[in-house]
């Protein structure tokens, strides 16, 4: 961090968005792999049933429930956490875009980006 | 079949889907749901949930590369994401009220359309008209890299593109797919963006669109970790390898083959839906 922060050029901005996306995908894949190891070690020999739809239990449906599962060391909970990181990745990308437009003082695009961000958070928060 | 075997077979199938999807530029998402429903007998609602998260994974992974190469138009993407996210929320809310057979029929029709589009690749006509007023007001006109250096382009028919993007969002939320085909149609045909800019910006937007409906699917219990895990990991590995191979592989015959696979899946989905076998 040398000198005062200048407005980002479009190229620097694009590179940052690329890093955010890649980091999110890699982090998510790592968590899913860890969860898969626990899940397969415990349930690998049981018989899967996806033919009829039951819906997932309550703890796998909400952000707080998933964090609770993770603390209890559930493989399914850990996979679900990885999937949650994956869903959050494009949302983080939009948030970083908003920050980038603020630094470029492009207020029209700040409001467009925040609109998209609110729609995404609405989906994840309330369902 | 045990969970372990099921996981391995499903991961291999998803890997193949991701590989072919990346090599043909169609994305693997469109074949994941039929693969799960037809080959593995999975309920279509679980299949849509698993497909949706795999779509986010491939879109985010590929977009990271394209954004850095400077093809994606981030402003066009952001404006249109308002339309796709609203559409995706509507689609996801509509989904529980559509019976499984209805979903299968809509899916079959979208597959047919994707196959049709595979045979038609847009070409970039030279644009000599004055800039579009709305596009200028929204700062959408930009440049893209070509072998001869940066080439400027104008964006046109923003309202038409916006409307088509809403439809793409609804289909994405309803069926758990990226709707890349409709997105490219909106940008390439309606808004007259260069083909490479349309495809990469579409890819960039797919993750955001899918994330909008994924939240709702998660809350509704459609996303099963045991099923989504092999699909996400398989598609991710397949599409990453596919993107690397893209520069060395000849993809003409693969595109044709994949087009026929999609048509076969479309017929099967339409038939199963119409016969009420789902």
Quote the tokens at residue A28: 């998510």
Q: What is the mean pLDDT of residues B63-71?
A: 70
Q: Average pLDDT of chain A?
A: 86
pTM for the predicted model, two decimal places: 0.89
B73 touching A (Cβ < 8 Å)? no
A18-27, B185-194, B249-258: which range is least confident on average?
Answer: B249-258
Predicted pLDDT at A3: 41
Residue B146's pLDDT band (boundaries 50, 70, 90)?
A: confident
Is residue A2 a part of any domain in this protein? no
Which one of A39, A89, A125 has the shortest CB-CB distance to B226? Answer: A39
A52 vs A43: CA distance, rounded Å: 19
Any domain includes A94: yes
A-chain CB neighbours of B228 within 8 Å are: 79, 83
Taking the CA of residue B31 and the nearest CA in chain A, the distance in Å comes to 18
pLDDT band at A4 (very low <50, low <70, confident <90, very high): very low
| Domain that residue A37 falls in | 10-45+53-125
| Residue A21 domain flag | yes
Mean pLDDT, range A56-67, rounded to an integer? 83
Domain assignment present for A113: yes
> Could you say which of A48, A79, A125 has the minimum Cβ distance to residue B225?
A79
pLDDT value, residue B181 = 78
B40 and A80 within 8 Å at the Cβ level: the answer is no
Residue A72: is its pLDDT beyond 80? Answer: no
pLDDT, residue B260, reads 85
Over residues A74-98, mean pLDDT: 93
Instruction: Reply yes or no on whether the pLDDT at A5 is more than 60.
Output: no
| A111 band by pLDDT with thresholds 50, 70 and 90 | very high
Across the interface, whether the CB atoms of A25 and B236 are under 8 A apart is answered: yes
pLDDT at B118: 67
Residue A5 resides in a domain = no
The pLDDT confidence band at residue B122, using thresholds 50, 70 and 90, is: low
Q: How far is B253 from chain A (nearest CA, A)?
A: 31
Question: Hey, how many other C-beta atoms are within 10 angstroms of the C-beta on A8?
Answer: 16
Domains in chain A: how many in total?
Answer: 1
pLDDT at B197: 86
**Confidence at residue A1, expressed as pLDDT on a 0 to 100 scale:** 40
Whole-number Å distance between alpha carbons of B20 and B253: 11
Tokens 């969860």 locate to A35
Distance from CA of B115 to the nearest CA of A (A): 28
Contact criterion met (CB < 8 Å) for B208 and A116: yes
| Inside any domain, residue A116 | yes
Q: Is B220 at the interface with chain A, CB within 8 A? A: yes
Closest CA to B209 of B249, B176, B257: B176
SS3 category, A84: helix
Kindly state whether B37 is in contact with chain A, defined as any CB-CB distance less than 8 angstroms: no
Rounded CA separation B250/A122 (Å): 43
Which residue in chain A is spatially nearest to B72 when comparing CA positions? A14
What is chain B's length?
278
**Confidence at residue A2, expressed as pLDDT on a 0 to 100 scale:** 44
Tokens of B239: 């599409």
- The pLDDT of residue B94 is above 90: yes
**Mean pLDDT of all residues in B215-241:** 92
pLDDT of B77 over the 80 cut: yes
Provide the chain B residues 40-59 that lie in CB contact (below 8 A) with chain A.
40-43, 45-46, 53, 56-57, 59
**Which residues, in sequence order, are CB contacts of B65 under 8 Å at separation 6+?**
A18, B243
Dihedrals phi, psi of A54, to nearest 5 degrees: -110, -25
Least confident of A115-124, B4-13, B252-261: B252-261
Whether A48 sits inside 8 A of B6 (CB atoms) is yes
pLDDT average, residue stretch A31-53: 89
Tell me the per-residue pLDDT of B159-211, one tens digit each, with 9 for 90 and over. Answer: 999 999 999 999 999 998 888 778 877 888 889 888 888 888 888 888 999 99
Q: Which of A35, A55, A93 sits opposite B221 (nearest CB)?
A: A55
Which tokens is B139 given? Answer: 């700062």
Q: B219, A28: Cβ pair inside 8 Å?
A: no
CB contact under 8 A, A50 and B85: no
Whole-angstrom distance, CA of residue B268 vs CA of residue B278: 11
Which residue in B has a C-alpha nearest to residue A79's C-alpha?
B225
Question: For residues A27 and B168, what is the distance between their CA atoms, to the nearest angstrom?
Answer: 29
ipTM of this complex: 0.88
Confidence (pLDDT) at B131: 84
pLDDT in tens, B36-61: 998 899 999 999 999 999 999 888 87
By percentage, how much of chain B surpasses pLDDT 70?
A: 90
> Cβ separation of A21 and B232 shorter than 8 Å?
no
Instruction: Compute the distance between CA of residue B272 and CA of residue B81 in angstroms, rounded to an integer.
Output: 33
Structure tokens at A77: 């909970």
User: Token pair for residue B7?
Assistant: 């996981």
Contact across the interface for B215 and A32, Cβ inside 8 Å:
no
Between A33 and B122, name the one with better pLDDT. Answer: A33
pLDDT band at B248 (very low <50, low <70, confident <90, very high): low
What is the pLDDT at residue B120?
62
Query: Is A4 a member of any domain?
Result: no
The residue of chain B with its CA nearest to that of A18 is: B64
The DSSP secondary structure of chain B, one letter per residue, reads --HHHHHHHHHHHHHHHHHHHHHHTS-SHHHHHHIIIIIH---HHHHHHHHHHHHHHHHHHHHHHHHHHT-S-HHHHHHHHHHHHHHHHHHHHHGGGS-HHHHHHHHHHHHHHHHHHHT---------SPPPHHHHHTT--EEEEETTEEEEE----HHHHHHHHHHHHHHHHHHSS--HHHHHIIIIIIS---HHHHHHHHHHHHHHHHHHHHHHHHHHT---HHHHHHHHHHHHHHHHHHHHHTTTS--HHHHHHHHHHHHHHHHHHHHHHHHT--
Check residue A8 and give its pLDDT: 64
In a domain, A78, yes or no: yes
Q: What is the pLDDT of residue A127?
A: 47
**Residue A120 near residue B215, CB atoms below 8 Å:** yes
With 0-12 CB in 10 A as exposed, 13-18 as middle and 19+ as buried, what is A106? Answer: middle
């Amino acid at each position: 961090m040398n000198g005062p922060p200048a407005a980002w050029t479009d190229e620097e901005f694009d590179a940052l968005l690329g890093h955010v996306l890649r980091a999110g995908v890699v982090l998510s894949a790592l968590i899913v792999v860890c969860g898969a190891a626990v899940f397969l070690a415990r349930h690998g020999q049981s018989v899967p049933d996806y033919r009829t739809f039951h819906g997932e239990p309550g703890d796998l449906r909400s952000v707080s429930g998933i964090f609770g599962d993770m603390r209890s060391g559930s493989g399914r909970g850990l996979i679900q956490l990885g999937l949650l990181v994956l869903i959050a990745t494009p949302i983080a990308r939009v948030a970083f875009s908003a920050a980038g437009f603020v630094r470029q003082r492009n207020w029209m695009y700040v409001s467009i980006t925040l609109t998209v961000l609110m729609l995404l958070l609405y989906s994840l928060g309330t369902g | 079949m045990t969970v372990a075997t099921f996981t391995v077979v499903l991961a291999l199938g998803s890997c193949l889907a991701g590989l072919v999807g990346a090599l043909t530029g169609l994305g693997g998402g469109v074949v994941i749901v039929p693969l799960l429903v037809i080959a593995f007998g999975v309920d279509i609602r679980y299949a849509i949930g698993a497909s949706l998260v795999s779509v986010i994974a491939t879109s985010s992974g590929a977009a990271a590369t394209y954004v850095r190469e400077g093809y994606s138009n981030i402003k066009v993407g952001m404006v249109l994401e308002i339309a796709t996210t609203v559409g995706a929320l509507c689609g996801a809310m509509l989904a529980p009220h559509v019976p499984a057979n209805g979903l299968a029929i809509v899916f079959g029709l979208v597959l047919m359309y994707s196959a049709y589009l595979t045979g038609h690749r847009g070409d970039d006509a030279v644009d000599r008209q004055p800039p579009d007023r709305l596009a200028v007001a929204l700062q959408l006109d930009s440049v893209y890299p070509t072998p001869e250096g940066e080439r400027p382009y104008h964006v046109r028919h923003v309202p038409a593109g916006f409307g088509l993007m809403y439809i793409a969002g609804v289909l994405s939320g309803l069926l758990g797919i990226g709707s890349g085909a409709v997105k490219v149609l909106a940008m390439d045909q309606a808004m007259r963006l260069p083909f490479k800019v349309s495809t990469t910006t579409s890819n960039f937007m797919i993750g955001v669109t899918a994330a909008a409906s994924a939240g709702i699917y998660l809350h509704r219990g459609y996303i099963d970790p045991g099923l989504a895990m092999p699909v996400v990991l398989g598609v991710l590995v397949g599409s990453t390898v596919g993107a690397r191979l893209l520069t060395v592989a000849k993809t003409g015959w693969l595109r044709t083959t994949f087009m026929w696979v999609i048509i076969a899946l479309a017929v099967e989905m339409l038939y199963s839906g119409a016969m009420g076998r789902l």
